[in-house]
Amino acid sequence: MSKSRVLNHLSLIIAAVCFGTIPVFTFYLSLMGVPSLQQSLFRAIFTVLYLLIALGVAYSYRTVMIKREHLSHFIIYGLIGIALSIIVYITAIAIGTPVIVAVSLTYLYPAITLILSRIFLKEQFTTIRLVAVPLSIAGAVIVSLPLTPYLAPIPLAGIILAISNAIFAACYVVLGRKWGGHEGYRPIVTTFWGYFFAMLWIGPVIVILSFFITDPRIIGFQLIIHPVAWLLLLGFALIGTAIPYTLTNIGVEQIDASAASIILLLDPISAVIFGIFFMAQPVVFWQAIGAGLILLATLLIALEPRLQRRKKLENGL
């Protein structure tokens, strides 16, 4: 494996670890009374500011700007790949969908990515990916299983919203590769413009949702926020958003979107580890089994180029 591909794989692994911090940030921010959608709004605003500072320091104005013909691409990217993903997940929880169901259905996104990448990126269905996708999804669901079963009825609308979240998560990976990497934009530029337009979308959507959702834990807006909560929001935007989203776009520069989505399912493993240390969450044996399945799928994806080269050599002989 070349050094550049190693860097791409490493970027995706670090991104998955950073994504695993999201439950910790949301847990403590919720304890401090910051509603979910307000978290999302400030997360987007601070992410844009972080990326803007980084771009201003490292790149020229010409490098940062996008072409006029690509403007609609990034507007759609910000809406579908980021804003709607955040909104539908929170809305699913708001209408009574169990968190475990919402999370588990979201982990369908590698399978959806496999399909979308075939349609929009012309990526091939390989035997390894067809094996790795169900392995990774099964592992992610097992890792996320609750300690006690959920027996109450699950709203159909919540299931639809959670599956929609999986579709939007897949769109972030696929569109980031198609409209970012393929059109020659640097990964941080792709992330910046995606989140810039996501920030513009989230505000009006919050206003619209306020007519339908009344739970103050989700839709409320706190005018006075504790200083510690501000620090958490800043950390959320940096560690849980700006860094992993940019690293994801770095990863998909040379790694197929379908393969990248499987590596990113290391996220639930890191979330469990962070949960143990920061939220005193217990861990059970089946989570180790699920983690093993995800690691196996990730290893298959990492070894795929080597196995393909070996197969070509054998066929050549």
Q: Tens digits of per-residue pLDDT, 193-206?
A: 999 999 999 888 88
pLDDT (mean) for 227-255: 94
Residue 234 has pLDDT above 90, yes or no: yes
Q: How far is CA 104 from CA 100, 113, 160, in A?
A: 6, 16, 13
Residue 120 has pLDDT above 80, yes or no: yes
Task: Report pLDDT digits (tens) over 282-298.
Answer: 777 777 888 888 888 88
Return the pLDDT at 191. Answer: 94
Percent of the chain whose predicted confidence (pLDDT) is above 70: 92
Annotate the chain with three-state secondary structure. CCHHHHHHHHHHHHHHHHHCCHHHHHHHHHHCCCCHHHHHHHHHHHHHHHHHHHHHHHCCHHHHCCCHHHHHHHHHHHHHHHHHHHHHHHHHHHCCCCHHHHHHHHCCHHHHHHHHHHHHCCCCCCHHHHHHHHHHHHHHHHHCCCCCCCCCCCCHHHHHHHHHHHHHHHHHHHHHHHHHHCCCCCHHHHHHHHHHHHHHHHHHHHHHHCCCCCCHHHHCCCCCCCHHHHHHHHHHHHHHHHHHHHHHHHHCCCCCHHHHHHHHHHHHHHHHHHHHHHCCCCCCHHHHHHHHHHHHHHHHHHHHHHHHHHHHHHHHC
Residue 77 has pLDDT above 70, yes or no: yes
Q: How confident is the model at residue 182 (pLDDT cuts 50, 70, 90)?
A: low
Q: How many degrees, rounded to 5, is the angle at CA 171 between CA 112 and CA 245?
A: 120
pLDDT (mean) for 132-144: 86
Extract the tokens encoding 298. Answer: 């990730």
Residue 151 has pLDDT above 60, yes or no: no
Residue 44 has pLDDT above 90, yes or no: yes
Q: Answer whether 172's CB lies under 8 Å from 85's CB.
A: yes
Q: Answer whether 219's CB lies under 8 Å from 102's CB.
A: no
Return the pLDDT at 1. Answer: 57
Say how far apart CA 8 and CA 2 lie, in whole Å: 10
Average pLDDT of the residues of the chain: 86
Q: Who wins on pLDDT, 168 or 302?
A: 168
Residue 253 has pLDDT above 70, yes or no: yes
Say how far apart CA 111 and CA 179 lie, in whole Å: 21
Give the range of the structural domain holding residue 170, as residue numbers without chain letter: 3-316
Extract the tokens encoding 193. Answer: 């413009």
Of 89, 72, 63, 118, the C-alpha closest to 205 is: 89
Say how far apart CA 306 and CA 1 lie, in whole Å: 7
Return the pLDDT at 187. Answer: 92
Give the predicted TM-score (pTM) of the model: 0.86
Q: Total domain count for the chain?
A: 1
pLDDT (mean) for 19-44: 89
pLDDT (mean) for 88-99: 77
Return the pLDDT at 298. Answer: 85
Residue 36 has pLDDT above 90, yes or no: no
Residue with tokens 């990497």: 181
Which long-range contacts does 274-278 make (Cβ < 8 Å, 24+ apart)? Answer: 274/20, 274/21, 274/23, 274/24, 275/23, 275/24, 278/24, 278/27
CB count in 10 Å sphere of residue 99: 14
Q: How confident is the model at residue 52 (pLDDT cuts 50, 70, 90)?
A: very high
pLDDT (mean) for 302-316: 70
Give the chain's length. 317
pLDDT (mean) for 68-85: 92
Return the pLDDT at 124. Answer: 84
Q: Would you put residue 214 in left (φ > 0), alpha (ψ -120 to 50) or beta? A: alpha
The phi and psi torsions of 217 (rounded to 5 degrees) equal -70, -20
Say how far apart CA 120 and CA 123 lie, in whole Å: 8
Q: How confident is the model at residue 302 (pLDDT cuts 50, 70, 90)?
A: confident
